Amino acid sequence: MEKKMSDVSEEKKVDAVSEENPTTAAEAQAHDLESMNQDPLEEAIARVQELEEQLEESNKRVQDVQLRSRAEVENIRRRAESDVEKAHNFALEKFSKELLEVIDNLERALEAKSQTEEDESIKAVFAGVELTYKSLIATVNKFGIEAVGAIGETFNPELHQAISMQPTEGFSANQITQVLQKGYLLNGRVIRPAMVMVAA
């Protein structure tokens, strides 16, 4: 009961203060209302700022993914172009290797020309063989096939296969003294190394 009386007396004091100073009471209520209104407003502003930061971060991630995707697409395009170029350059490799045997046989036939007696019928055959050989060499050269391994060249293990090394007059060390079988390149790539004798 005493509690109730004290509560009532406090209310009377507040009312008395309100009656004595009405502007102070109104200001207090306005301040209370304002602080109640500001709390949700400040929370909303803070939430908006937080969402803006998250959006900015998401945009940065999206841009990063886009850049990486573009770079990957460009790399794939370059690889595909490179693969097509390699396939184009070396599509004839197997066929070229088969042609090398034909070239070797024509060269052997031309070497035999000097060992046979010259009569008119054989001359005509050798002339035909020589024309065929020159025509074939010109054709394979158009497609990037070139011979390697000539007497006097410096030995190169990437292009030549040494059968033996022996001291030879008139040649310095590592010079090719004899070509047993020509080597060939297809667009700069060895398809058959030259078999050679090398000066020691």
pTM, two decimal places: 0.57
166 occurs within a structural domain: yes
Could you tell me the CATH number of the domain that includes residue 182?
Answer: 2.30.22.10
Task: Choose the weakest-confidence range: 89-98, 117-126, 145-154.
Answer: 117-126
Q: What is the pLDDT of residues 79-115, one digit of tens each?
A: 999 999 888 777 788 888 889 999 999 999 888 876 6
182 occurs within a structural domain: yes
163 occurs within a structural domain: yes
109 occurs within a structural domain: no
65 occurs within a structural domain: no
Instruction: Return all residues near 182 (Cβ < 8 A) that are at least 6 apart.
Output: 103, 104, 107, 147, 148, 149, 194
Q: How many domains does the chain have?
A: 1
150 occurs within a structural domain: yes
Neighbours of 94 (CB within 10 A): 10
